[in-house]
Structures are given as structure tokens and as C-alpha cells.
Amino acid sequence: MTFEERFWRKVDREGPIVAGMETRCWTWTGHRYTNGYGCVTLASGENRRRGLAHRVAMQLSGIEPGAMMVCHRCDNPPCCNPAHLFLGTAADNMRDCIVKGRASRGETHAAIQRAHVRRGDEHWSRREPGRVKRGEERSRKLTAADVVEIRALRAEGHKLREIGLRFGICDATVCNIARGKTWLPPAALDEGPATVVLSPFAGVGSEVYAAVAAGRKGVGIELKPSYYKQMAKNVQAAGELDDPDQVRMFGATP
Ligand SMILES: [Zn+2]
């Protein structure tokens, strides 16, 4: 049986008709993440990899979501009916979530609960980016593949707690990995001075910072303007730019 056949065998096309929809939801009957989204095994064994069922459903219907999020018109997380799915940005998804009343507001909002934490430029990781750990310790629990998966899950909007439980790490660690503040595969710094360190989820630029501080070159990619600007500041502080060619950055809003 092909992957596609096995996938659709786990989908019940006789799901509910949700208010506002004209056709039935196709319910994922396999394992679900705690937020209700279907969880599909993409590869087993040592290279174990799991993904979101509705995202795979869209791919199997011939649309490759790439960096976009796959959202539900029917607001029914396990639904895999391609006709109920659409592509959106994280911002679209958040707006949709607020419209549908799923977002926290008021006192339960995370920003209010954590108002006492120093934020933005006041946060120690921005004032002293060299102190940010990047996963060099021997106690490291994660593999490079885990980090890629964590960033993908976070980009899909999964909760920090949920991802943390799956990988046995705390919420703050998940957050730092997702934002690119931590975790540099150690090999990248051990490959000698000629190597350029690529930081595809650069965040505030701690990997590029570490590379430049070690006399190397770094290439950082970050799409969120506020992180990108902070990365530029951090990296300039690292090299003081005696060699401008040491630092190269790509971003949505340079
Ligand atoms: Zn649906």
C-alpha cells in the first residue's frame, strides 16, 4: 500500500457538517496532537518524523504549502477535507483565531501574565548575546532533526507546552529554539575558520554572532522585522565591523 493509500484509510469522510460549511468534514481517525490536529507518521525508525495530517492532506491534493500555514475554514482541527483547507500566513491564522474566539485575551493573555519579565532590548539575551547558549553542552538532549521539527511545529502554531512535552524540554527552551535564540549544531563551529555559518532561522542572530565573534563569517535569514533589526545590531556589536564582508544578512525588511 502506498503512503497515500494508508493516509486516506485513516480519514473518515463521513465526518460532521460544521455550521457554515456545505460539505462534511473528513475526520482524521489516527493519533492526534493535544490541540486536536491529526498527527501522521511520515518516516519511521531512526529517522522518525511526524507531521500535521491536514497539511499532508493539502499536499496530497496537489498543493504544496511551503512556508505557508494550512488553516481550516471549518475550524475543526482534525479535518482533512482539502475543500475545507486554505493557505494563510501566521498572521492570517492569528486573526482567524481571534475572530473565532480561540485566542487568549485580557488577564489570561501570555503578555499580561509575563509583564514582569524584562523584554525586548532590556532582556539579557539582547544586552549580552554572547551569553546565549547554543547547544554546545554535552548534556544536549536534541538532535539536529529534532530542532528542525520543533521549528516546523512552532511555525504551525503548536503550543510551547505541547512541543516541550513531546521532546522532554521546558517551554522556554522550545521558545528559544523556535526563535533561533539557541541551538547551533556544534559541527558548524568545528569546521574551521573558512566555513560560513548559515543560520536559516536566525532570530536575534546568536548563531551569526557566535560565528563572527570567533572570526568566522555568518549568513543569517530572518523574516520577522523586529528580530532582523536586533540581529543586525547584535552582529555589528560582535565584529565592530572591521571586516564588513564577515557579516551578511538577508531579511524581509533590511
Ligand atoms: Zn472540515
254 residues of the chain, pLDDT tens digit each: 899 999 999 999 999 999 889 999 999 999 998 888 999 998 887 788 889 999 999 999 999 888 888 989 898 999 999 999 988 877 777 666 666 665 555 555 555 555 556 667 777 777 777 666 655 544 456 766 777 788 888 888 889 988 888 887 888 888 888 887 776 554 444 455 666 777 778 777 777 777 776 667 778 888 888 888 888 877 777 666 455 555 555 554 44
Measured in Å, residue 193 CA sits from the centre of ligand 1 at 52
Residue 81 and residue 154 in one domain: no
Domain count, the chain: 2
Grid coordinates standing for 198?
548559515
Residue 236 and residue 159 in one domain: yes
Among 68, 99, 130, identify where a domain stops. 99
Among 99, 131, 148, identify where a domain stops. 99
CA 163 – CA 144 distance, rounded (Å): 15
Please spell the DSSP secondary structure of 67-129, one letter per residue: TSEEEESS--TTB--GGGEEEE-HHHHHHHHHHTT-S--GGGSHHHHTTTS--GGGSHHHH-G
Residue 219 and residue 122 in one domain: yes
SS3 228: helix
Q: Looking at residue 64, which CATH number applies to its domain?
A: 3.90.75
Measured in Å, residue 215 CA sits from the centre of ligand 1 at 53
Measured in Å, residue 70 CA sits from the centre of ligand 1 at 12
Measured in Å, residue 79 CA sits from the centre of ligand 1 at 5
**108 part of a folded domain:** no
Measured in Å, residue 92 CA sits from the centre of ligand 1 at 18
Kindly report whether the global pTM for this prediction surpasses the value 0.75: no
Measured in Å, residue 55 CA sits from the centre of ligand 1 at 13
Residue 230 and residue 130 in one domain: yes
Residue 82 and residue 140 in one domain: no
Domain that residue 132 falls in: 118-254
